[in-house]
């Protein structure tokens, strides 16, 4: 399964001044598989250690954690030589061992010749909970996410369609109707399947939207189990309640996260810690409200107002019980929850491209779903779940903040009219924020 992170890993490998690398991300997004593939392709050999499932390996990091001692013990334990420049040492689930995490500092300072990659599923949560000493400034970090739509198309062996989408995006010219319909159908498939590698593999093998629900259900159960494992019982209950409330939050016309939806009388004081846990675990995405559309946009955040999405749209669709046939046939295009699914998809695509999530709401009722800072410009983005796209909010934002153009994301063809770029859902991976 082709992943974009491979090029980032390769760039890290070839750095002159290289630090140990930590790959962060939620469970089941493909970190272990991607790093293993990278190790096989780019190194003479690889030594893999799982610090969560192998207690004997964890003993290596007790006591003296000098690089020289650790390398010798790992070689003896695995019966494999670790040769600088030729071997990739992969420490998986590093959040399970504080001393292993601390040892990365000493590899950076004393043995930078070794290539060391660590991966952690709940590293942010574990560090925060256990008060681990994180090797700040001594490691390089990458964040990994579920497959975005372009990677999904690669997995579906639609490489030529990807190139057609990119070519028509560059010119903002409509694709042939047959390709447009095919791309939209695949977008609808993605909204059901999502970007979890195990779910995509299951669909490739079975071509069934029924069997993938079992895989998605297992992943959801793992997430819920982690809430209990990495949080105190009272906090875990709040985390579960906030996570489960995302469905109701996205079904509202006003999708701003409201604590009272989680629990009557709910407040930020009561549920703020639970929201932070979900974000650090990488299983939710936060879209922060902007007070103004000036540069830099981050300076105009309203930290108390935000929208919350699930990090994988397929998990959202499965968890909600939204019928697959409604997405595949659009038999009820006016269904309010389809708007939530569409917004969730856009937030997932932007996050995969490292585009910060912001939305804007005026003092009255005008609202823009997303706001991008592209170079020296602030560009409003509107998401429409279907083909009906009339709205005054984009025009209001453009006039108020002098945006050079606006973007509308919908099921309509590429186009540029009335200073609005029309971009189909399937082409979001083409948008850049630089």
> What does the pLDDT look like over 124-155, one tens digit per residue?
787 665 556 788 899 999 999 999 999 999 99
Residue bearing the bigger pLDDT, 72 or 365: 72
What does pLDDT average to over the chain?
94
Whether residue 15 is preceded by a cis peptide bond, meaning omega within 30 degrees of 0, is no
**For residues 369-385, b (16+ Cβ closer than 10 Å) or e, as one string?**
bbbbbbeeebbbbbbbb
pLDDT of 191 strictly over 90: yes
Of the three residues 118, 143, 168, the one that is the final residue of a domain is: 143
The conformation of residue 422, written as its DSSP 8-state character, comes to E
Average pLDDT over residues 236-249: 97
If asked whether residues 321 and 275 sit together in one domain, one would say yes
Domain that holds residue 207: 149-430
Q: Is 367 left (phi over 0), alpha (psi -120 to 50) or beta?
A: beta
Average pLDDT over residues 366-384: 95
pLDDT of 305 strictly over 70: yes
Helix, strand and coil in the chain, % to nearest 5: 50, 15, 35
pLDDT-derived band at 362, boundaries 50, 70, 90: confident
If asked whether residues 243 and 321 sit together in one domain, one would say yes
pLDDT-derived band at 376, boundaries 50, 70, 90: very high
In 129-217, DSSP assigns E strands to 140-143
Average pLDDT over residues 171-181: 97
- Of the listed ranges 121-135, 347-361, 397-411, the least confidently predicted one is 121-135
- Residue 129 pLDDT: 58
If asked whether residues 110 and 191 sit together in one domain, one would say no
* pTM of the predicted model as reported, rounded to 2 decimal places: 0.94
Of the three residues 125, 143, 161, the one that is the final residue of a domain is: 143
Average pLDDT over residues 348-362: 96
Residue identified by tokens 């560009």 is 379
If asked whether residues 136 and 172 sit together in one domain, one would say no
213: its two tokens: 């629900």
Are the beta carbons of 293 and 380 closer than 8 angstroms?
yes
If asked whether residues 125 and 252 sit together in one domain, one would say no
If asked whether residues 97 and 20 sit together in one domain, one would say yes
State the Cα–Cα distance between residues 317 and 185, nearest whole angstrom: 16
**For residues 256-281, b (16+ Cβ closer than 10 Å) or e, as one string?**
bbebebbeeebeeeebebbbebbbbb
If asked whether residues 331 and 418 sit together in one domain, one would say yes
If asked whether residues 120 and 171 sit together in one domain, one would say no
| Residue 433, SS3 per DSSP | coil
Residues with Cβ within 8 Å of residue 376, at least 6 apart in sequence? 295
Give the Cβ contact number of residue 319 at 10 Å: 17
Task: Residue 237: name the closest of 202, 263, 255, 211 by CA.
Answer: 263
- The CATH number that applies at residue 12 is 3.40.50.300
Of the three residues 84, 112, 143, the one that is the final residue of a domain is: 143
Phi, psi of 95 (to 5 degrees): -65, -15
Q: How many folded domains does the chain comprise?
A: 2
Residue bearing the bigger pLDDT, 57 or 310: 310
- Residue 121 pLDDT: 85
């Amino acid at each position: 399964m082709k992943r974009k992170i491979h090029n980032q890993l390769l760039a890290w490998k070839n750095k002159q001044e290289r630090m140990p690398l930590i790959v962060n991300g939620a469970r089941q997004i493909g970190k272990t598989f991607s790093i293993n593939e990278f190790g096989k392709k780019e190194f003479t050999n690889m030594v893999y250690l799982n610090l969560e499932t192998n207690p004997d390996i964890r003993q290596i990091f007790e006591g003296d954690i000098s690089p020289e001692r650790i390398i010798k013990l790992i070689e003896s334990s695995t019966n494999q030589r670790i040769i600088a420049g030729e071997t990739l040492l992969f420490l998986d689930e590093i959040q399970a061992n504080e001393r292993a995490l601390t040892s990365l500092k000493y590899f950076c300072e004393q043995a930078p010749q070794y290539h060391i990659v660590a991966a952690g599923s709940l590293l942010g949560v574990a560090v925060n909970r256990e008060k681990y000493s994180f090797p700040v400034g001594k490691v390089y970090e990458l964040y990994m996410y579920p497959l975005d739509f372009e990677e999904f198309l690669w997995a579906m062996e639609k490489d030529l369609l990807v190139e057609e989408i990119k070519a028509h995006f560059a010119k903002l010219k409509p694709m042939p109707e047959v390709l447009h319909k095919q791309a939209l159908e695949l977008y609808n498939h993605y909204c059901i399947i999502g970007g979890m590698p195990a779910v995509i593999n299951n669909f490739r093998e079975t071509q069934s939207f029924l069997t993938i629900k079992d895989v998605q259900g297992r992943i959801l159960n793992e997430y819920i189990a982690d809430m209990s494992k990495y949080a105190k019982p009272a906090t875990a209950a709040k985390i579960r309640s906030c996570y489960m409330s995302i469905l109701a939050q996205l079904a509202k016309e006003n999708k701003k996260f409201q604590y009272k939806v989680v629990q009557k009388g709910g407040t930020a004081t009561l549920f703020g810690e639970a929201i932070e846990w979900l974000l650090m675990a990488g299983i939710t995405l936060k879209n922060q409200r902007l007070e103004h559309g000036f540069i830099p946009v981050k300076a105009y955040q309203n930290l108390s107002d935000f929208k919350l999405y699930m990090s994988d749209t397929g998990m959202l669709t499965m968890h909600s019980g939204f019928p697959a046939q409604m997405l595949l046939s659009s038999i009820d295009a006016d269904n309010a929850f389809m708007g939530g699914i569409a917004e969730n998809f856009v937030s997932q695509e932007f996050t995969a491209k490292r585009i910060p999530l912001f939305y804007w709401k005026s003092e009255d009722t005008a609202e823009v779903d997303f706001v991008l800072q592209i170079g020296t410009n602030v560009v409003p983005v509107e998401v429409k779940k279907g083909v009906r796209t009339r709205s005054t909010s984009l025009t209001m934002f453009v006039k108020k903040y002098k945006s050079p153009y606006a973007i509308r994301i919908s099921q309509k063809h590429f186009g540029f009219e009335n200073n609005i770029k029309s971009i189909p859902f399937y082409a979001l991976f083409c948008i850049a924020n630089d």
